Amino acid sequence: MNKVINYLDKLYPNPKPQLNSNNSFEFLIAVVLSAQCTDVKVNKVIKVLFEKYDINSLAFAKISDLEQILKPLGMYRKKSIYIKNIANKIIDNNYIIPNNMKDLIKLDGVGRKVANVVMAQLYNKSCMPVDTHILRISKRLGIANDKDNAYIVEKKLVTVFSESKLNKLHLQLISFGRQICTARKPKCSECELKDICIYEKKS
């Protein structure tokens, strides 16, 4: 685990979230919209969305108007309904974004991964949101088993890595998964984890 941490610290000393936002509400919406979409696409859509709406006007927006803006994203019909409902719920909650898993997952379109991202980035809580990159890397490194689902992988990661490292590690692993330990043709020859990596040994 130390080797993983040291290598990722060397590669990505100051990892930053890739989603753009001007406030907590925009960040929450951006994370919800990012399901099964690239951050680049979400950032383009978010810019258009929040030029036209704020939380109050979004709560009364026409779904058909939201669909036009969200169309470049996957599941844009569902997401249009989700974000309108979220705006209404956050207004009902005195404009406060929940800071815990139990209340966050009550919001439309918010599952465990999105809730963990929000808690980590908005409230600086130690969390490990497991996305497709983190799932894949954890299995390749042998931290998790092939059959483990995202929830099990999350539990294993929070057990083996120290709590203080988790938020930074989450961002580092995403960058590592995008740039080096890619789904297809990972760049193992240049990766300094290859001597501890199960995938590389199997290959």
Residue ranges binding ligand SF4 (CB under 6 A): 140-141, 180-181, 186-188, 191, 193-194, 197, 199-200
Which residue, 97 or 197, is less far from ligand SF4 as judged by CB? 197
What is the rounded distance in angstroms from the CA atom of residue 35 to the CA atom of residue 57?
23
Structure tokens belonging to residue 83: 């974000």
Which residue, 26 or 148, is less far from ligand SF4 as judged by CB? 148
Which residue, 11 or 75, is less far from ligand SF4 as judged by CB? 11
Which residue, 125 or 156, is less far from ligand SF4 as judged by CB? 156
Catalytic residue among 39, 79, 84, 113: 113
What is the rounded distance in angstroms from the CA atom of residue 2 to the CA atom of residue 102?
32
Q: Give, in degrees to the nearest 5, the angle at Cα 95 between 90 and 97.
A: 65
Q: How far is the CB of 133 from ligand SF4 (least distance, A)?
A: 10
What is the rounded distance in angstroms from the CA atom of residue 109 to the CA atom of residue 90?
14
Query: The tokens 């297809």 sit on which residue?
Result: 184
Residue 144 to residues 60, 126, 151, 158, 175, Cα–Cα distance (Å) = 44, 20, 11, 12, 19
Residue 165 appears among annotated catalytic residues: no
Query: The tokens 């120290």 sit on which residue?
Result: 162
What is the rounded distance in angstroms from the CA atom of residue 30 to the CA atom of residue 175?
18
Q: How far is the CB of 141 from ligand SF4 (least distance, A)?
A: 6
Q: How far is the CB of 18 from ligand SF4 (least distance, A)?
A: 20
What is the rounded distance in angstroms from the CA atom of residue 20 to the CA atom of residue 35?
15
Q: How far is the CB of 137 from ligand SF4 (least distance, A)?
A: 6
Catalytic residue among 9, 103, 131, 148: 131
Residue 113 appears among annotated catalytic residues: yes
Residues known to be catalytic:
113, 131
